[in-house]
Each structure stands twice: as C-alpha cells, then as structure tokens.
Amino acid sequence: MPPRRVRPSLYISVDVEADGPIPGPYSMLSLGAAVAGVQDADGFTAADPAARTFYRELQPISEEFVPEALAVSGLDRERLREEGIEPSLAMAQFARWVREVSDGAQPVMCGYPASYDWTFLYWYLIRFTGASPFGHSGCLDMKTLYAAKAGLPLRAVAKRAMPPGLLSTRRHTHHALDDAIEQAELFANLMAWAGPPAS
C-alpha cells in the first residue's frame, strides 16, 4: 500500500492588538500576518517573512475597553471609528488573503503565545464571516513548541530565557504587522532548532 500523501502546512504568523482581554465585549483593533514558511514530508522551508504580509486596522465593535490594554498598542479608538475598516470587510479580506497565499497547502496560524491572538482571530472570523480558513484547530503555539523542544515546563518559558540565536533581530514594537514578522522569524528559527545540547 503506497504511503498516504500529506498536504503541506503553510504557517502564518499572526499578531493581534486589542483593547481588552476577550473578544465580544472588547475589540480587535489591528491584525497583522506574515507567511513564516511551509512544511511538507521533506521538512520545513522558511519564507522571507516580509514578502507576503497582511495588515488592517479595524473599527471597534463596542464602547468597552481597558485603558491599559489600549495603551500597549498606542492605537486611537476615536480615529479607528472614522478610519478603521468595518470588521466584516477586514475579516473577509483576511480570509481571502489566507486562501491565496496557502494555494494547495493547509494554513496554520502560529503565534507567541497563540492563545490570546487565536481567541480574537477565530472569534472575529466566525462572527463576521461565518467560517475560518484555519478550521477550528489550525493553530500552533510557539511557546509550547519551544517548551517541548527545550524539555521545559510551559510556565518556565519566556523569550528572555531563550538562546539568543533563536530570537529575531527585529524589535517587538506592538504594531501588529511588525510583531507578526518578528514572530515569523522566531518560528522559522524554532523549526530549525534541534533543541539544547545534551549535557
């Protein structure tokens, strides 16, 4: 019996800036994404993370916000009410972009940590488009990936404790596209990393 052909996975680094801890009561204000690379039966091939990207700023969906969360991104909710893209249009554009860049591969969202960004991303996709190009589980957490390769408990993982060679040389700016590109480089480095040297 011939081996089953495995569809490649296209990893897309996603970063979200939001004005609170959960979607619904609070709003996703910006969304950045960068293609990090593709994995098939022969292994992982990194992409230039700045080559295929997506960025949108969105109109808020509620009046509620947490000032401390809003301050992280520096985005202006009043400006976004006027200039931001309506969420249903922004998410439809994002879903179309994901399908275009995937082209025969299965898209997988990756983030650091993925839990926050995935919560907003999946909720917004379902709420405003009715579907997710990633399905309900096409999500990979870079923090978990590092913990598994390093042999560490998940709660012991922090970027500052990682080997410097794994980290991107780009700054973490809290601009969603900047951070998606930075995290795409981290992801590619993690995929190539064999783990810490044996002691």
Report the catalytic residues.
174
- Specify whether the CB–CB gap between 14 and 117 falls below 8 A: yes
Give the Cα separation of 109 and 136 in Å (integer): 11
Q: Cα–Cα distances in Å, from 48 out to 10, 12, 97, 175, 185?
A: 13, 12, 17, 19, 8
Per residue, what are the HEC states of 9-25? EEEEEEEEEECCCCECC
Sign of the torsion formed by the C-alpha atoms of 41, 182, 80 and 114: positive
